[in-house]
Chain A
Amino acid sequence: MSPANPFTRRKDRIDELAATAASPSGGIAEAGAVDEKPGVSLIASAWSRLKRSPVFLLGAGITLVFVVLALVSPLIAPHDPAAGLLLDQVRPQSNPVPGPQDGFPLGADSRGRDLLSRLLVGSQQTLIVGVFATITGLAGGLSLGILAGAFGGWVDALVMRVVDVMLSIPSLLLAFSIAAVAARPSQVTVIIAVAAVQVPVFARLLRGSMLAQRSSDHVVAARALGVTERAIVFRHMLPNSLAPVIVQSTLVLAVSIIDAAALSFLGLGNPNDRQPEWGQMLGRAQTYIYDYPHLAIYPALCIIVVALGFTLMGESLREALDPKSRR
């Protein structure tokens, strides 16, 4: 390990993750360790350990509930999340936020809309922000990574230099700056800002793991057998780079949802709240937070639980796929 420039370390951490892709059939058995069956692939052995891991099961359980909720919530929500049903109870001076009552177990927000329905339906937009931000970031990173890898030489050097500099800007600050460029903020600009931060991470991750594989035995063997370069990239290198990408994606899902909330908090989020999203609900609750903290606490709890679910899943995946942890 040698630091090559002022921000090597963040690069190194990404590269370390990338290296987990390099050995498709796993780590070195210690002397005396008798549980290492020959020929069991890294993925298969990782899966067999994941099935027994309570941390992974908890994370996967939370994620599953969240996704199902996001899909069915419009059907089970008691009210229309955009309709100001209790608007007549809103008194800007004395009672800006209607409390819990019959049919409205959590009360309403400052525009008289049912809080429970907004929370339920909010899962949908939250999932959309998380998934699209991750996919966009991944797609951007993938393109840059392949561009750098395919052309090599100065294109590679240039792309990676820009990537490294982007990594040298504190990520949330970068997201804020990109969101600030948008003349008319919307859900799309939020997704772009959150995703842009992940582009350099994914680019570096993919390029790192492809480079690690370029010299690995199975790729050298394939090349020696006369497999075309294209087939090597798509059939051998990309599939084996998947493990670190999946791990990173899971973690990015959590980060995106939290970052989106921070954008809303700074007024850089989606101003249209007819389609509720947890981050937006939390970011906007600041107006009434000392008098009506529940407006912030409910969406915050939702975000924390879901982010924790993704994180638990990602971390246990990382551990399971890391050849080093197989001791």
Chain B
Amino acid sequence: MARFIIRRLLQMVGVVAVLSVLLFAWLRSLPGGTVSAILGERATPETRAALTEAFGLDQPIYVQYLKFVQRAATGDFGVSTGVLPGTDALQIFVDRLPATIELSVAALGLAVLLAVPLGYLSARRSGSPLDSGLVILSLVGVAVPVFFLAFLLKYQFAVEWNWLPVSGRQDSLGCTRITNFFVLDGLMTREFDCSASALKHLVLPSLALATIPFAVIFRITRASVLEVLGEDYVRTAESKGLTARVVRARHVMRNALLPVVTTIGLQTGALLAGAVLTEKVFAWGGIGDALARAFEVRDYAVLQVLILAAAGIYVFINLLVDISYAIIDPRVRTR
């Protein structure tokens, strides 16, 4: 198991290396070159010269790359030009990370908790009206643009009916901040009204963000359970007279969940991209929000941090997924 993890970690280093090359190439190909891209309109000859020097743009390309890696390794990605002008780009990422994690966890949790049981039910009753209905719902789910759904929810539940807050993460209640996970902070400080407010704000954005992961996880669960139900070992389990509960949990779900776990890992990618759109609609104030803003105003300093971070988070989560996969599946672990 330890060897397995070490091997994955080493592969991850390789991935990050290739990623850094791609990111570097991306930065170099930005319109107007790196300096204008990062400094934007405010470029005076002095700042231009300083940046050219700092980036080593007058030096051979491999030196430039090494400098880029060096700066990235020390967390120096430059200063924001558009999102929060003058702020350190990395700081923007760090400040906004908890908001996005809170939203993503809520959305993914919602998606998984609904999709896995419904997928099982659908497979067990395949061909029934319930099954057909859920399958159609999941197909529609992926066809709806995320940001449109976010607007729709916001328009109906927040603007028209006024049931839930329109935007933001919390009402201004003067809550104490500890971790910047607002729900958690409220629980830790026993300011329960703060947690309640944060939860209320979470409902609509997490619903919007959960649709696509729900649809995809539902369909994978359904297909996977259908396949496992036809496996010989399920028949063996039934032939042993095991209770329906044991057959379901130990023999069906434990196998059927293998591809589902993988899919959940992959959906974190869709979640990060979806967060850009959803957070923008709900002015969430997380990484997605900042990314959307950075794309609009072409704040490349912020973009490079956030894109690298998003890709890194995605790769890291899929590493965790692979490890959990190995925990569930002995064939991977003991090879």
Contacts and interface: CB of A to CB of B under 8 A. Distances in A.
Direct contact of A and B (CB under 8 A): yes
Interface of A: 1-10, 12-13, 161-162, 164-166, 168-173, 176-177, 179-183, 254, 258, 261-262, 265-268, 279, 282, 286, 289-290, 293, 296, 300, 303-305, 307-308, 311-312, 315, 324, 327
Interface in B272-294: 272-274, 276-277, 280, 291-292
Contacts of B272: 170, 173
Nearest to A184: B31
A287 to B, nearest CB: 12
Interface in B96-152: 139-140, 142-148, 151
A162 B22 CA distance: 9
Contacts of A266: 276-277, 280, 292, 295-296
Contacts of B145: 258, 261-262, 265, 279, 282, 300, 303-304
B245 interface: no
A168 B311 contact: yes
A65 to B, nearest CB: 16
By secondary structure, the B interface counts as helix
Contact of A308 (B30, B31, B140): B140
A12 B326 CA distance: 16
A2 B7 CA distance: 13
Contacts of B331: 1-2
A311 B295 CA distance: 29
Most B C-beta atoms less than 10 A away, residue of A4, A266, A304: A266
Most A C-beta atoms less than 10 A away, residue of B31, B32, B326: B31
Given A1-B332, A9-B263, A170-B310, 11 more contacts: A7-B15, A162-B22, A171-B273, A172-B270, A172-B274, A180-B303, A181-B29, A265-B280, A266-B296, A282-B145, A300-B145
A96 to B, nearest CB: 17
Given A3-B325, A6-B315, A173-B272, A262 B147 contact: yes
B266 A9 contact: yes
B233 interface: no
B28 to A, nearest CB: 10
Given A6-B12, A183-B31, A170 B146 contact: no
Contacts of B148: 261, 282, 296, 300
Contact of A182 (B31, B140, B263): B31
A177 B11 contact: no
Contacts of B144: 300, 304
A4 B314 CA distance: 17
Contacts of A307: 142-143
B230 interface: yes
6 contacts: A2-B335, A12-B262, A177-B26, A258-B145, A303-B145, A315-B139
Contacts of B82: none
B248 interface: no
A266 B142 CA distance: 19
Contacts of B321: 9
A327 B32 CA distance: 58
